[in-house]
């Protein structure tokens, strides 16, 4: 049951990352004005939004490939989670230095902090699953 939940969550993160990345690449201005709080982080920059869109494509692909290829799961999910964690920590830093108010953390939680937490939990689960698989006797 836990395995199904973890794989389902990874697939959701993967699809969400791909859709967000595609939206950022296809319509940077549309993405900029549609996502709550983005307009308060600085002026519109099409190039920057598309750069980050590529990162979301890679991140989404990593979660999806890892969902179906267990031998690559730990490295793919850990790599994607490192970016997600860095992104979330950057948002906390912005609040700490006064760039954003604390309300930004609550506003951004579903799209920034929660994926980072989920990615970390999935990566730890994948590490444990890989160890269990290696230790399981073969018949």
Q: What is the pLDDT of residues 9-67, one digit of tens each?
A: 999 999 999 999 999 999 999 999 999 989 988 899 999 999 999 999 999 999 999 99
> Is the model's pLDDT at 137 over the cut of 80?
no
| Contact between residue 21 and residue 56 where contact means Cβ atoms under 8 Å apart | yes
Query: What confidence tens digit (pLDDT) does each residue in 115-134 have?
Result: 999 999 999 999 999 999 88
Give the predicted TM-score (pTM) of the model.
Answer: 0.92
The domain ranges of the chain are 2-135
Which contacts qualify for 44-53: CB closer than 8 Å, 24 or more apart?
49/24, 50/24, 50/25, 52/24, 53/20, 53/21, 53/22, 53/23, 53/24, 53/25, 53/28
């Amino acid at each position: 049951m836990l395995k199904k939940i973890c794989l389902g969550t990874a697939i959701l993160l993967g699809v969400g990352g791909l859709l967000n990345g595609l939206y950022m690449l296809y319509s940077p201005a549309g993405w900029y004005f549609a996502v709550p709080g983005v307009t308060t982080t600085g002026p519109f920059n099409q190039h920057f939004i598309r750069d980050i869109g590529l990162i979301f494509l890679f991140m989404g692909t990593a979660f999806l490939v890892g969902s179906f290829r267990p031998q690559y799961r730990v490295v793919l999910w850990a790599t994607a989670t490192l970016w997600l964690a860095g992104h979330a920590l950057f948002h906390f830093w912005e609040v700490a230095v006064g760039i954003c108010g604390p309300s930004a953390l609550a506003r951004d939680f579903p799209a920034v902090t929660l994926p980072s937490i989920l990615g970390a939990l999935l990566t730890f689960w994948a590490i444990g699953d890989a160890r269990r698989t290696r230790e399981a006797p073969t018949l």
